[in-house]
Structure formats: C-alpha cells, structure tokens
Amino acid sequence: MAEDFKLGPLNHVGVAVPSLPDAIETYKTLYGATDITEPFDMPAQGVKVCFVNLPNSQIELIEPLNEESPIHNFIQKNPKGGQHHVCFEVADIHQAVEVMKTRGATVLGEPRIGAHGTPIVFVHPKNSNGVLVELMETPKGDH
C-alpha cells in the first residue's frame, strides 16, 4: 500500500493575508488576474478564502475570521501576510494519512473537508523542509 502512494498534482499555494479585498486588488492590478472566486467563510477552520484561478493551478488567499483562527497567529508573525502552505492532490486521503504516519510524519489533526469540498489534512512543516503541506483528496470528476 505505502509503495503505491505518491503525490498528485500541485493543486494550489495558500497565501495568508490580513485583508482579502486588498489581496484581491493586488492580484488584479499588479498581476492581471481576472478569474477570482467570490470570498466565502469557512467557520470550522476559522478562515475566509477565495481562489485566484490560474491556467495550471490556483492561489488560495486566506484571511483569518477571528483571533482564534490558526491564520491569525501567522498574520501576527507576518503582518503583511505570506506563503502559508502548498497543497498536493492525493487519490485517497485516508491512505495518505496512513502512509505519512508510517513514514514518520506528523499529521496535524484528522481529515476534514477543505475549501474545495473534499477531505484534506496537513503535514507538519518539520517533515517538509519547513513547508506546511496540505494533502487534498482529488475532487471527484477532476483529472
């Protein structure tokens, strides 16, 4: 089972921001982005998100909903925002969790539904050269 496991495509790069409207304006005016989703709240995760759709991937812009949000602490340390995580697709999130744990990685929490409506989990940055990695089950009907 573990020998069959591999990462799928890069799905998105998560960028924590102090203000979604300001970040959206930056991506529109500085980078010429034209396909940006409407922001939506994810109270269970303590964030408001939107996606900048690109030809080969997405940028997930993430704003904390409140001071209890895990993104709030990130913004406290990085007031202008910054890269928060990279997200790779996997065929089966439960297999991915099992393999990550077997290989000695620290999986943060249990699988939960992410912004794309599919199960996700995070792997601690200490296991990935300082990068927080999100693993997301490939949405059904994609790829």
Domain boundaries, the chain: 7-137
Q: How much of the chain is in helix, strand and coil states, percent to nearest 5?
A: 25, 35, 40
Checking if the pLDDT of 1 tops 60, the result is no
pLDDT in tens, 81-132: 999 999 999 999 999 999 999 999 999 999 999 999 999 999 999 999 999 9
Start-to-end CA span in the chain (Å): 22
> What letter does residue 33 receive in the DSSP assignment?
-
Overall pTM > 0.75: yes
Phi and psi dihedrals of 137, rounded to 5?
-65, 130
7-137: CATH architecture? Roll (3.10)
Looking up tokens 């249990």, which residue turns up? 110
